[in-house]
Amino acid sequence: MNEKTISSQTIYEGKVITLKVDQVELPNGKTASREIVTHPGAVAVMAITDDNRLVVVRQFRKPLGRTIVEIPAGKLEPGEEPVVCAHRELEEETGYTTRTMQHVASCYTSPGFADEIIHLYRTDGLIAGEAKPDEDEFVELMHITVEEAQQLIESGEICDAKTIMAVYAWKLESRT
């Protein structure tokens, strides 16, 4: 079933992503081209407050041209452990620190054209502090109930895979 790489051409190396186009040999001996985006990987944090609210941030996303509501998330620095990144991104975007981070799942966002992986963590026992966003990052902090999360999915303000996945995981744990 494997596709054998015949050649690989790097088209663009950016700050965040790299684009390459590979020529591959298919299982039937034919050839095809594959457009591949490489990405450093990311973490996302499902942080639950003591009064059972999910910590989310509202931010503008240029690829979508609009503002959406997401769980805190961010890219891995080179060599950074995902769990360390989870603590760092949670504090940068929301100010919250926490002692424990539980791994929920790791997932590829777009396996057809990208190698981006997101490691989803869950935490509670949050300690409030001051947010420290990156200089090109503007986020608004919100705390939502499970019903509000469902409404935001229905209204389309929550509309990204990692956040919908986190809301579903939260609903599943709320029922056990």
The DSSP secondary-structure symbol of 62 reads T
φ/ψ of residue 61, rounded to 5: -120, 110
Find the Cα–Cα–Cα–Cα dihedral 51, 54, 58, 62, rounded to 10°. Answer: 170
Distance of CA 163 to the CA centre of its chain: 8
114 binds a second copy (CB under 8 A): yes
Q: Which two tokens stand for residue 36?
A: 């591949």
Distance CA 22, CA 35 (A): 7
Q: Which residue in 52, 81, 138, 145 binds a second copy (CB under 8 A)?
A: 138
**Binding window for a second copy (CB under 8 A); candidates: 47-55, 78-86, 91-99, 100-108:** 100-108
* Strands of the sheet with 18-25, listed across from one edge: 4-13, 18-25, 31-38
> Is-catalytic flag, 137?
no
Using CB under 8 A, count the residues that bind a second copy: 68
Q: Which two tokens stand for residue 105?
A: 């799942």
**Binding window for a second copy (CB under 8 A); candidates: 47-55, 78-86, 122-130, 155-163:** 155-163
Residue type present at position 26: L
16 binds a second copy (CB under 8 A): yes
Q: Which residue in 17, 83, 131, 146 binds a second copy (CB under 8 A)?
A: 17
Residues that bind a second copy (CB under 8 A): 1-3, 11-12, 14-17, 19, 21-22, 24, 26-28, 30, 32-39, 42, 58-64, 67-68, 70, 73, 75, 105-116, 118, 135-136, 138, 140, 153, 156, 159-162, 164-165, 168-169, 171-172, 175
Residue positions annotated with a catalytic role: 135
